[in-house]
Amino acid sequence: MVTWILKKILGSKNQRELRRLGPIVRRINEFDEQFKSLSDDALRAKTAAWAEEVAKLPDLEAQWQRLEEILPEAFAVVKNAARRLKDRHHAFTVCDQPMTWDMVHFDVQLLGGIVLHRGRIAEMATGEGKTLVATLPLYLNALTGRGAHLVTVNDYLARRDAEWMGQLYTFLGLSVGCIQHDQEPDVRRQQYACDITYGTNSEFGFDYLRDNGMATTREQQVQRGYHYAIVDEVDSILIDEARTPLIISGPTTISTHQYDKWKPLIEQLVRKQNMLCNRLASEAAAKFEEGDAETGGRLMFKVKLGQPRNKQLLRMMEDPEKRRAIDKAELSFYQDTRKEELFQLKEELFFTIDEKSNEADLSEQGRVFLNPDDPNAFVLPDLINEFTEIDLDQSLSDEEKDKKKAERQQHCDTQAERIHNIAQLLRAYCVFEKDVQYVVEENKVVIVDEFTGRKMPGRRWSDGLHQAVEAKEGVQIDRETQTLATITIQNYFRLYQKLAGMTGTAETEAAEFHDIYKLDVNVIPTNRPVARKDHNDRIYKTRREKYNAVINEIKDSHARQQPVLVGTVSVEASELLSRMLKREKIPHNVLNAKFHMQEAEIVARAGQPGTVTISTNMAGRGTDIKLGPGVPNLGGLHVVGTERHEARRIDRQLRGRCARQGDPGSSRFYVSFEDDLMRNFGAADRMTKIMERFGLEEGQELEHRWLNKSVETAQKRVEQRNYMIRKRTLDFDDVMNMQREVVYTWRNEVIDSEEPRTHIYEVIDEAVPAKVKEFLEIDEPNFAGLVHWVNTTFPLGVTKEKAQFETRAVEENAQFLIAKIKDAYERKSSHEEPTAVKSLERYIILNAIDRLWQEHLYAMDALREGVYLRGYAQKDPLIEYKTEAYDMFVELMMNIKNEVLHNLFRSTSNLQAFENFLATLPQFLLREHAPTAGADSPAARARQPQPAMAMAGGGEDGEGEVAIDLPARRSLPKVGRNEPCPCGSGKKYKNCCGRVA
């Protein structure tokens, strides 16, 4: 109450902030007035003058400060240029369509521009002209010469906007580029070199990954830094896409899944469960008939656990009384005191499915069904207990204990993989529906984006789910892929020194933008007052009644020639409505994944008299709907929402499609108790009561603004939950992000370095002492091991006697070796061509980084899956993940360095030079092998790639010298993680020598 009063007096924070920008807008307009008298050349000359001045400033901070000072003048230059183009009826083509320039920035657009320049999110309603708004801050920030990026949602918009707004930039003497999916690296580089570059988030992101994970020279990289970006539809990118990272991947060598094997059994199991649930539902119906609602509710709750989409269940949920009984049963079971009972209840089913959390769990019955001989094949062993038991077993030697533990570990891995396969199959059968979450096309499972209804070819669900769905649909099961490089869009955008965003709907998610991205939202007022009429929701018992009502409303508008835009949450719903309209003989267009080619065109025509357009939630976003002749008098465009979306924001987007720029327009949402939102998070219970009180008849609806609130409460609950999920994903991702930053920075330093040898020497300086310590800083220094390691890594021909390691302190030994290694290395390189040596040095480091980093990514994936299993042991998976990820990272960095050392003398740019070098080496022999402490396991050896060539070792017998194990061409190939281990154990490499931590 108090805050409400304060708000009345002071205005909201947003209003106060905008009020402070008022004087700046006035100054822009004053400058604009002055500039009217300038010649074109004089106006244009300002660009070059500023750019020159800003370029001289010492750093970005100083440059930003200067930009802030010249903002009013610079924005005025852009606005003035826009006016000149308009006055001249400047004609041009955009995406092969003729156009005439007809825009000059409105004051609210100037406001939006200031907000964007300051690195905030500008919320501007649809049709307010965000495309034009962005020209102001892009122009200003491009003056630094560091490149300014505008991120659009699709390739078409990137090209359209670059060509369209490009008229303004080129008029002012700035260059503009645009990234398109099919461009070659050379073309991309040119686009990034422009002052301003338009492109989609995934193109920007993938270019980053390729530049940092694959390019080995500066010339191969296409981007040139991350200075300023404006993200269009920022909510959709930072919030909706928060869960799907960009991944560059290659297929793994061998697939280990068993989806094919389990599919027939799982199909039977699902069938058995469905029969069981149908029987339970009939029993429940009988109980309800007898008036025993409690038992009925209890039975139906069981059905809900076992088959959430059971037809009878859905029907019963329509009946307020039964629904209440079921909800009551559910609620009571989730009390702590009844955990045991809930467990029993679940055991009476074959498995349980949780729709909300997407989880699937086998019961004892289910396990027996799948493997009557060994139901325990689906239970994860309690490793900690088993280990303790092994440790306590007096009859075992230490060695035997280790062996036993390794066996148990291996056993546990196999079980885990099996359980995982089965759980994914169950999810595929029970939660994922064809034509809703995915479609099958050309023998492929293609994901359908739940928000947009667009197909997302090329994307795959992670974690084996995609393969499970492929198995279910009987299409070719693609091999698991291995991640070569990955980043989430969010983390890509965090690279920018300054980030801004624009969208029609950010306010409801303002807290999330602030907490996670440090982006504040300013709501910019519309240019003209909004004339849209938002009607109350209409609420029905069943979907069927709801759709009938929707059709009636469409018929009604259509009869009056008022255009209607119907929004749906899924492709399936769009098609259902389309069929119903066909029956009514109402001509209409359907916008969904299947027709996105003509999408922009169809949307543009949606405002013509009498048109009916059905569209999934965000299809056709970014295209303006202009009203046809006479339509304003009919009330403008009418928007009908056929379901409330999980997020209020998406509903607001749909509403925002009408009544642009002061046009008339109206909107209404239809809701039914069978909608997912209502079923899962419903205010259903409360509403059921209300409905009963009113004694609702078939086809009758409820409508009251209080009910809108109830729906909104449900939405808020889901939003909150989704926010927590995204936050958690990001928490996990942050760990990777820090590691990626370290690795990519190192990589780029090496690429950029004029003297890559300094990097090689840094590696020697760090890695050699660490190794020496490993051998010597232990209870019993292992001198022989050290000698062996030195000789297998470097061609130094060191012997125990000559090196006299015993006589020096550990650190001195390290320095002694470092000097010798560097000396030998100088000699080796002196035989080679200097420029070639430089590329070779870069190559040695990059190669080690890339190979091991990719392995590391794989191991991190596995870790991430693994820590969730530990969640059961009362440990916080995130903390576990962080600790282990850190250890793994330390190990990775060490491994990279060791690999660099290892390849240092095994690579050459030129064979002749190499032979010359070999001739200078001390003689060595191949006979004696010093004892080692596993310094060079078969696996470690096997995975060494041979960048340039392998060198032959050999020589005369000689007494007292130790062999240098510079093997002739490595006989073992690089092993994939799923291939048999080269040590001959018969296990997979990943479970044997290649096991990570």
Q: Which residues bind ligand ADP (CB under 6 A)?
A: 102-106, 109, 124, 126-132, 624
What residues contact 605, with CB distance under 8 A and at least 6 apart? Answer: 589, 611, 613
Residue 157 or 702 with smaller CB distance to ligand ADP = 157
What's the Cα-to-Cα distance from 285 to each of 302, 315, 319, 711, rounded to whole Å? 13, 11, 12, 29
Instruction: Please list the residues that pair with 980 across neighbouring strands.
Output: 988
Residue 661 or 715 with smaller CB distance to ligand ADP = 661
Please state the three-class secondary structure of 833-878 as a single string. CHHHHHHHHHHHHHHHHHHHHHHHHHHHHHHHHHHHHHHHHCCCHH
Tell me which H or E stretch contains 7.
helix 2-10
In the complex, what is the shortest distance from the CB of residue 710 to ligand ADP, in angstroms, rounded to a whole number? 31
In the complex, what is the shortest distance from the CB of residue 627 to ligand ADP, in angstroms, rounded to a whole number? 12
In the complex, what is the shortest distance from the CB of residue 726 to ligand ADP, in angstroms, rounded to a whole number? 25
Residue 512: which of 345, 694, 336, 719 has the closest Cα?
719
Residue 791: which of 823, 829, 816, 817 has the closest Cα?
817
Side chain identity, residue 918 = L
Answer yes or no: are the C-beta atoms of 651 and 641 closer than 8 Å: yes
In the complex, what is the shortest distance from the CB of residue 110 to ligand ADP, in angstroms, rounded to a whole number? 10
In the complex, what is the shortest distance from the CB of residue 129 to ligand ADP, in angstroms, rounded to a whole number? 2
Q: What letter would DSSP give residue 44?
A: H
Answer yes or no: are the C-beta atoms of 986 and 993 closer than 8 Å: no
In the complex, what is the shortest distance from the CB of residue 504 to ligand ADP, in angstroms, rounded to a whole number? 7
Residue 109 or 191 with smaller CB distance to ligand ADP = 109
In the complex, what is the shortest distance from the CB of residue 614 to ligand ADP, in angstroms, rounded to a whole number? 21
Mapped onto helix, strand or coil, the DSSP state of residue 153 is: coil
In the complex, what is the shortest distance from the CB of residue 103 to ligand ADP, in angstroms, rounded to a whole number? 4
Residue 102 or 260 with smaller CB distance to ligand ADP = 102
In the complex, what is the shortest distance from the CB of residue 491 to ligand ADP, in angstroms, rounded to a whole number? 26
What is the secondary structure of 272-323 as a DSSP string? HHHHHHHHHHHHHHHHHHHT-HHHHHHHHHHHHHH-TT-HHHHHHTTSHHHH
In the complex, what is the shortest distance from the CB of residue 489 to ligand ADP, in angstroms, rounded to a whole number? 20
What residues contact 254, with CB distance under 8 A and at least 6 apart? Answer: 976, 978, 979
Q: How far apart are CA 813 and CA 253, in angstroms?
A: 43
Residue 604 or 926 with smaller CB distance to ligand ADP = 604
What is the secondary structure of 641-676 as a DSSP string? ESS--SSHHHHHHHHTTSSGGG-EEEEEEEEETTSH
Extract the tokens encoding 862: 């596995």
Side chain identity, residue 234 = V
Q: How far apart are CA 153 and CA 301, in angstroms?
A: 42
What's the Cα-to-Cα distance from 245 to each of 153, 201, 209, 737, rounded to whole Å? 16, 11, 12, 12
Residue 165 or 445 with smaller CB distance to ligand ADP = 165
Length of the chain as a residue count: 997
What's the Cα-to-Cα distance from 30 to each of 43, 70, 73, 77, 91, rounded to whole Å? 15, 14, 9, 11, 28
Q: What are phi and psi of 532, to 5 degrees?
A: -85, 140
Residue showing the smallest CB distance to ligand ADP in the complex: 129
What residues contact 185, with CB distance under 8 A and at least 6 apart? Answer: 220, 222
Answer yes or no: are the C-beta atoms of 306 and 426 closer than 8 Å: no
Residue 277 or 625 with smaller CB distance to ligand ADP = 625
In the complex, what is the shortest distance from the CB of residue 255 to ligand ADP, in angstroms, rounded to a whole number? 45
Residue 83 or 716 with smaller CB distance to ligand ADP = 83
Angle (CA) 524 527 528, round 5°:
125
In the complex, what is the shortest distance from the CB of residue 23 to ligand ADP, in angstroms, rounded to a whole number? 21
In the complex, what is the shortest distance from the CB of residue 626 to ligand ADP, in angstroms, rounded to a whole number? 7
Residue 203 or 663 with smaller CB distance to ligand ADP = 663
Residue 652 or 679 with smaller CB distance to ligand ADP = 652
In the complex, what is the shortest distance from the CB of residue 492 to ligand ADP, in angstroms, rounded to a whole number? 23
Answer yes or no: are the C-beta atoms of 674 and 646 closer than 8 Å: no
Residue 124 or 353 with smaller CB distance to ligand ADP = 124
Residue 240 or 961 with smaller CB distance to ligand ADP = 240
Extract the tokens encoding 868: 């969730």
Residue 130 or 856 with smaller CB distance to ligand ADP = 130
Residue 178 or 925 with smaller CB distance to ligand ADP = 178
In the complex, what is the shortest distance from the CB of residue 444 to ligand ADP, in angstroms, rounded to a whole number? 34
Residue 505 or 568 with smaller CB distance to ligand ADP = 505
In the complex, what is the shortest distance from the CB of residue 634 to ligand ADP, in angstroms, rounded to a whole number? 21
Residue 412: which of 437, 387, 446, 447 has the closest Cα?
387
Residue 789: which of 950, 943, 970, 963 has the closest Cα?
963
Residue 233 or 318 with smaller CB distance to ligand ADP = 233
